[in-house]
């Protein structure tokens, strides 16, 4: 997760183990508070896709889903000195969220990488819920963000994705929608978690396509 301006380093390597313990506890707290949708909880916006009844329409309960949570998938947060300009990264091979010590107190960095981790697990354990989650997040946010469609177009535009996020993890539409959701919940400015807009304003040529 690139950052143009890095914060002052906090803590020394000798204190990292204790800080990592605290970060892992915080990540679990964030999961419970903000990721009920990605962990496929029945009380989330995905509830209607999980609830089921019998032939007489009598309530039976909720369909059992795979565990997408951090603990069940052995995903840990680790403090790691990153290359210049990088605040964090999700290492899917080792299932580790690496955070540079300069950003160990930056909630936006942790949440950014947590989204990557959940998408990684979701695609492998329950890929059909990916589209359901994307749909429900879009429906939920469309009533809260007037220019949502325009924001999605900018983020998902081929030029932007290729120039900014090429080879740098999954920064697709589901990732972006969850960033917006978290930014709203935490009263953060749009772009704080997603890093949506490039330094220079990009121009997009609109075209109207007609049927053959």
Q: For residue 89, list its beta bridge partners.
A: 98
β-strands 76-79, 96-99 pairing: parallel
Q: How many Cα atoms within 13 Å fall on the side-chain side of residue 108?
A: 19
Task: Please give the pLDDT value at position 65.
Answer: 84
Count CA atoms closer than 13 A to 129's CA, side-chain side: 27
Instruction: Report, as an integer, the average pLDDT of 35-49.
Output: 92
212 located within any domain: no
Residue 105, both tokens: 């107190």
Would you say residue 210 has pLDDT above 60?
A: no
8 in any annotated domain: no
From the CB of residue 10, how many other CB atoms can be counted at a distance below 10 Å? 12
Q: What is the C-alpha to C-alpha distance for residues 104 and 16, in angstroms, rounded to an integer? A: 10
**Contact between residue 68 and residue 121 where contact means Cβ atoms under 8 Å apart:** yes
How far are the Cα atoms of 1, 9, 19, 74, 96 from residue 93, in angstroms, in the given order? 17, 27, 23, 12, 8
CA 109 → CA 14, 45, 88, 209, distances in Å?
Answer: 22, 24, 6, 39
Write out the residue range of the structural domain in which residue 117 sits.
Answer: 13-185
The string of pLDDT tens digits covering residues 74-87 is: 999 999 999 988 89
Q: How many domains does the chain have?
A: 1
Q: Is residue 73 part of a domain?
A: yes
What is the reported pLDDT for 194?
Answer: 87
Q: How much is the pLDDT for 177?
A: 95
What band does 92 get if pLDDT is binned at 50, 70 and 90?
very high
Is residue 208 situated within a structural domain? no
Band (pLDDT 50/70/90 cuts) for residue 9 is very low
Q: Is the pLDDT of residue 135 over 90?
A: yes
2: in domain: no
Task: Write down the pLDDT at residue 7.
Answer: 39
**DSSP at 6:** P
Q: Is 86 helix (H, G, I), strand (E, B) or coil?
A: strand
Residue 87 lies in a domain: yes
């Amino acid at each position: 997760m690139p950052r143009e301006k890095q914060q002052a380093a906090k803590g020394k390597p000798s204190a990292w183990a204790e800080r990592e313990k605290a970060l892992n506890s915080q990540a679990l707290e964030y999961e419970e508070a903000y990721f009920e949708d990605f962990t496929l909880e029945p009380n989330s916006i995905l509830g209607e896709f999980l609830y089921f009844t019998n032939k007489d329409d009598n309530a039976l309960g909720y369909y059992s889903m795979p565990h997408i949570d951090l603990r069940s998938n052995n995903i840990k947060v680790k403090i790691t000195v990153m290359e210049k300009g990088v605040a964090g990264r999700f290492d899917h091979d080792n299932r580790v969220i690496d955070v540079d010590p300069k950003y160990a107190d930056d909630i936006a960095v942790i949440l950014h990488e947590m989204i990557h981790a959940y998408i990684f697990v979701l695609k492998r354990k329950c890929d059909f819920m990916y589209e359901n989650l994307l749909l429900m997040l879009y429906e939920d946010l469309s009533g809260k963000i007037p220019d949502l469609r325009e924001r999605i177009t900018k983020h998902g535009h081929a030029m932007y994705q290729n120039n900014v996020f090429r080879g740098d993890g999954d920064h697709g539409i589901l990732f972006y929608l969850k960033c917006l959701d978290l930014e709203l919940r935490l009263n953060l400015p749009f772009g704080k978690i997603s890093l949506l807009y490039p330094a220079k304003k990009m121009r997009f040529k609109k075209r109207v396509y007609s049927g053959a």
